[in-house]
Structure 1
Amino acid sequence: MVHGLPKPLAEGYLTIEIFQKNPQYLLSINVPEKNKTYRILIGLMQKNRRIHNLPELPLGFVVYRLINSAQIGERLSQDFLTSRKPIYARHLETTKQITGHIDLSNGNYCIIPFTEDTKSSCDFLLRIYSEVEFNVEEYDEEIGMISNDKNLSITYNTASPDNAIKEVFKNFAGKDEQISWVELKKILDLLLTREKQEFSKEVCRSMVAMMDTDRSGKLNFHEFYELWEKIGKWRGVFRTNDLNLTNTISGPELREALKAANIKVNNRILNMLILRYGNENGELEMEDFLHCCIKLAAMIQLYESGSYRKEKADDWIIDTVYS
C-alpha cells in the first residue's frame, strides 16, 4: 500500500499544459514470470474536504505504459501526453474515493490523478494493492538552484537609472557607506513609490541576511545593487506568472514562477511554501513571493555549500535563523 503525500491536484485532462503539472507516480512491476498479468487495484481518496466544509470534487486517474528508459527517468512531458493514449482511464466521479482495477504485466507505468476543473485542487491519498511485489515512487523535481541565467531574461522597469540609485544609496548610508535593513526599507519604498510597493520589515531583514556575506548586518553598495537587480527580476517573474491578473499567484503558478526565478522545488516543499507564504486561498501576493524566493535561495545555497555538515548545532541554528 502506498500513501501519496497531500498535494495540489490540478485537472486539465483536456488541458495538457496544466494536466502535465499534476502529480505523476512511477509504478514498476518486476517478477520472474514475464508473460503473466497481475490484477492491480488503485484507489484515490480525497482528504480534508469535510474538515473545511468543502464539497467533494470529481476525481479520476489515468495509467500510461512506459516503453523505454528515457521515459522512466523524468516526468512525462506534454509531447508524450499528447502523442500517447493511456492504457487505462478511470473516468471522473464525484465521490470521496474512487477505485479502478487493471491487469498489468512486467514493466513500468505512470499513474496521473486529475480533477474536473483546471481551477480546482484537492489533497488526496493514493493507495495501490497487488497480488505481486511492486515499487512506486513519485516523479518530482530535484531541489536546487538552476545554474544558468536564461530563465531570468525578463525585462523589467527599474524606478531609477544607476547613477540615481547610487545617489539614493549615499543619502541613506552612514559614514561606513553601508545600510541596515532600516535604511534598505526606506530606499526601496522611495525607489518603488510610483508602483506603490512597500516592503515589511521582516522581508527587508531577510533581504539583508541573504546578501550580507560578512555577517555585519549591513549591505555595501555592491551588495545592495545586486539585491536591487534580483528584486527587479523576481518582480518581473511574478507579473509574468500572474496569469489571471489578480496580483496573486496560485499553487500551480508558483511552481512555474520559482522555475523562472532559477529555483527548483519538489511537491512537498511547494505545499509547505503555500502554507507558509500563501493566504487562506493558497495564493501569494508580490511581497510573499519575494520573501519566498529570498528564503529559498538562501537556504538552498547554504545546503549546497555543505558547510552545515561541519557546523556545531549553535552554528547551524545561527545560519538558519539569520537567513
Structure 2
Amino acid sequence: MEDFTGGVTEFYELKEAPKELYKIMKKALERGSLMGCSIDSIVPARFETRTLTGLVKGHAYSVTAVEEVRNKESKVRLVRLRNPWGQVEWNGPWSDNSKEWATLSKAEKEKLQHQNAEDGEFWMSFEDFKKNYTKIEICNLTPDALEDDKIHKWTVSVNEGRWVRGCSAGGCRNYPDTFWTNPQYRLCLLEEDDDPEDSDVGCTFVVSLMQKNRRKERKMGANLFTIGFSIYEMHGNKQHMQKDFFLFSQSKARCKAFINLREVTQRFRLSPGEYVIIPSTYEPHQEGEFMLRVFSEKKNTSEEIENRIEADHPVPAPASAGEESEEDQQFRTIFQEIAGDMEITANELQNVLNRVITKHKDLNTEGFSLESCRSMIALMDMDGTGRLNLQEFRHLWNKIKQWQGIFQHYNADKSGSINSYEMRNAVNDAGFRLNNQLYDIITMRYANENMNINFDSFISCLVRLEAMFRAFQAFDQDGDGTIRLSVLEWLQLTMYA
C-alpha cells in the first residue's frame, strides 16, 4: 500500500492494540486511509485455509467501514470487512443473515447499507474483530493522494537527511558521547485535536523514519540498518542540542524498538509545544540517507535544527604588552637566529614551530607540514608579502597556544589525535559555530581513515576557518551575511588560503 501511494503505514498487533483503536480506525477512514487486516497462520501450508467461522487464515482483508449503532439494549461497535475473493464470508454474529440484524431499526440498517449477498463483504462486532484477527495495517495518505474535498486530511511535513560516518552518525542513546551529533529536527505542535469526548486531548501525530536506497544497495552487500528515533521537549532553543542536554533530559516519547526494517512508524499524542526528534541508527558510524515524515491531525511544522554560522574571534588579538615569558624569549631568539631582523618564509616558519613543538611531548606529534605553514602565513600575512615579521609571528604563536590548549583538553589519552566527534566540540571551543554540512566537510577533509584528527590537521583546520571567516568579514561591508566576488577575487581568496 505504501509503495503504491507514498503514504505512511502503521502496524498494530490486535492482542496489544491501544485502547483507542476503534477511534483510530474511525478517524483513519474519515481521512481516506487504506486499511488491511489478516489472521496469522503459524504453519505456512495452512495459508488461505478457511476456518469454521468462514474467515481465511494468512489472507489479506480490507476494512471498508467502522460504525456504532444502537440496538434494543445498548450501543454496538461494528466493523465492515471485505474478502477480495468476492465470496467466502464470516458466519458469526452480525454476518449477513444473523439474528442480530433483527434488533436494529430500519434507519440503522439503512445507515449501514446492510444487504444479504455473497459479495465477500460482511459486518462483525469490533470485539469479534479483535478476537479473530491478528494484525491491522493503516496506510495514512498524503493530501496530494486524495482528491475528495470532503475528506479531512493530515498535515504532513517531510525532511530528508543523512547520517555521515565520523560526523552525524551518532547511534542511539546508549552512546552518549556521539548521540547528540545525529541530525536534529524541531517539531512544533501548534493546535490540539478536535475531540470533544476526550478530556485528555493533546496533539495526535505519526512519525515515520524510512532509510533510503538500502534495497538498491543490497546488491552490493548492504543490509538494512537497525533504526529508530527519540523525541525530546525543548524550549525555544534555536541551536543544535549539545551532549549535556541529552545527558540530563528524559525523552518525552520514542519508538517502541530499534528494528532493521526499511521504515519505523509510530503514533504519539503530546501536548502542544516544541519538540526535537532525533533519528538514528542503533550503532554509531553507520552511514546512510533517511526520510523523516510527520503526519499530524492539526497544523505542525518541522525543520532541521541548524546552527547559525558565526565566529567569535575573526580578528587577531593584539600581542599582550608587558614582560615576555620564557617561551616568548626563546621564540625571539630562534626567530632572530633564523631571520635576523627580517621576515620568515613558510620553510623557516616550519623550522621555528617544529623546534618549539618537539618540546611538547604530550602532543605526540611529528610536527607541522609545509602546507600547514603556508596556510598559517596566509592567515597572518597582513601586508601581502608572503612572509611573517616578528609581530605577525607573535600573533600566530598566541593563536597556536590557545588552540593547542583546546587540543590537549580533548587529547586526554595522549594519543596525539582527537576523534571527529570531539572535533565538533573543539571547533566550538575555538569560537566557531558551524552546521552539520560543514562538520561533514571538516571530517572528510581532515580526519584519517579511523576518523581521527592529528595536531597538524587540527591546527590547519582552525587556521583555514579563521582565515575564511576573516576574509568573508572583510568583503561583507554591509554586514548582511552575503558577499559578491568576481572570479579573480574568488580564486585569489581560495588559492592563497
Q: Distance in 2 between matches of 1:178 and 1:214?
A: 12
Distance of aligned partners of 1:243 and 1:111 in 2 relative to their CA distance in 1, 3 Å threshold: farther
Q: Note the alpha carbon deviations across 1:42-83, whole angstroms, 9 max, x for none.
A: 1142778869967665332112344xxx43434446357634
Distance of aligned partners of 1:122 and 1:299 in 2 relative to their CA distance in 1, 3 Å threshold: same
Unaligned 5+ segments in structure 1 are: 150-158
Report if the CA contact (8 A) 2:187-2:274 is conserved.
Answer: yes
**2:264 aligned with 1:99:** yes
Q: Distance in 2 between matches of 1:237 and 1:301?
A: 21
| Aligned residues between the structures | 308
Letter in 1 for 2:304: E
Q: Which structure carries more helix by proportion? A: 1
Aligned to 2:161: 4
Aligned to 2:435: 266
Moved more, 263-272 or 308-317: 308-317
Aligned to 1:146: 312
Letter in 2 for 1:190: R
Q: Distance in 1 between matches of 2:174 and 2:192?
A: 38
Q: Distance in 2 between matches of 1:256 and 1:135?
A: 29
> Which of these residues, 11, 22, 26, is aligned with residue 186 of structure 2?
26
Aligned to 2:227: 59
**2:455 aligned with 1:248:** no
Report if the CA contact (8 A) 2:227-2:264 is conserved.
Answer: no
**2:355 aligned with 1:190:** yes
Distance of aligned partners of 1:214 and 1:60 in 2 relative to their CA distance in 1, 3 Å threshold: same
> Which of these residues, 203, 214, 230, is aligned with residue 383 of structure 2?
214
Aligned to 1:161: 327
Report if the CA contact (8 A) 2:170-2:180 is conserved.
Answer: no
Indicate the structure (1 or 2) with the bigger Cα radius of gyration: 2
Report if the CA contact (8 A) 1:64-1:87 is conserved.
Answer: yes
TM-score, normalised by the number of residues in structure 2: 0.55
Q: Distance in 2 between matches of 1:14 and 1:25?
A: 20
TM-score, normalised by the number of residues in structure 1: 0.81
Aligned to 1:126: 291
> Which of these residues, 15, 37, 40, is aligned with residue 206 of structure 2?
40
Identity of matched residues, %: 24
Unaligned 5+ segments in structure 2 are: 1-157, 196-200, 316-324
Report if the CA contact (8 A) 1:23-1:138 is conserved.
Answer: yes
Aligned to 2:111: none
Task: Write the mapping of 1:102-121 to structure 2, written as runs, cut at 5 A.
Answer: 102-104=267-269, 107-117=273-283, 120-121=285-286
Q: Distance in 1 between matches of 2:421 and 2:219?
A: 23
CA RMSD of aligned residues (A): 3.3
**2:487 aligned with 1:313:** yes
Q: Distance in 1 between matches of 2:403 and 2:250?
A: 36
Task: Write the mapping of 1:226-245 to structure 2, written as runs, cut at 5 A.
Answer: 226-245=395-414
Q: Distance in 1 between matches of 2:212 and 2:423?
A: 23
Distance of aligned partners of 1:80 and 1:234 in 2 relative to their CA distance in 1, 3 Å threshold: closer
How many angstroms does 1:139 deviate by? 1.8
Report if the CA contact (8 A) 1:88-1:102 is conserved.
Answer: no
